[in-house]
Amino acid sequence: MAAAARFVAVFALLAAPWPGLGHAFADAVGSVATALADPFFSATNVTFALRAPTPEEHLPDWRGVIQVKQDLPEGPIRNAGAIDLRRAGYLQLATFVCLAAAWPWAWRERKLLAAVVALAVVGAATGASVLDYLAQIGALHVGDWAATAFALERRALVAAPGMAYAVPALAWLAIAKPGGAPSLLTAS
């Protein structure tokens, strides 16, 4: 019962609408995404940036603004879009933190594996939204099959109600057997 109480208490703290949290999260995710994308776009005519919205844009704090510039012989083409980083990253991360807070203390030494899986799930959720947008505007030429896969991944991991909570919970269960060692570390 104490584990459930810890889960609820931590989730209540993380889900509360704290002023500035959305903007700070969008800034942090934007910095990481832009830094990770730079090497991939450095040899192309595409400039990519993900950032928090400015006050002049009148967007909610949780929006991440995607800016893409393509330098073409006909002239530059600029595209801008926004993704909801609360649904595409924050809720998954918050769910992982709540599960970690509720998990038995004996399992705490395996936090590194849980952190790696949490970052992979958050990266997949955020990356799916960004890659889908880049494929839609033609800044990322991946072919029809990959573009469809990005769109399906975004719809499955981000757009579907409840998946922001279900995906981290399922990933957590894949790591840990209740009451035992993480299943990824044990031989079958």
pLDDT per 10-residue tile (average), the chain, 188 residues: 84 90 95 92 90 94 94 90 92 86 67 78 88 91 91 86 82 66 47
For residue 34, how far is the Cα from the chain centroid? Answer: 14
User: How far is Cα 65 from Cα 100, in angstroms, rounded to an integer?
Assistant: 30
Extents of the domains making up the chain: 2-175
Task: Give the global pTM.
Answer: 0.81
pLDDT at res. 7: 86
**What is the rounded (10 degree) CA torsion for 95, 88, 34, 114?**
30
Please report where in the chains the tokens 């998946």 appear, as a residue: 163
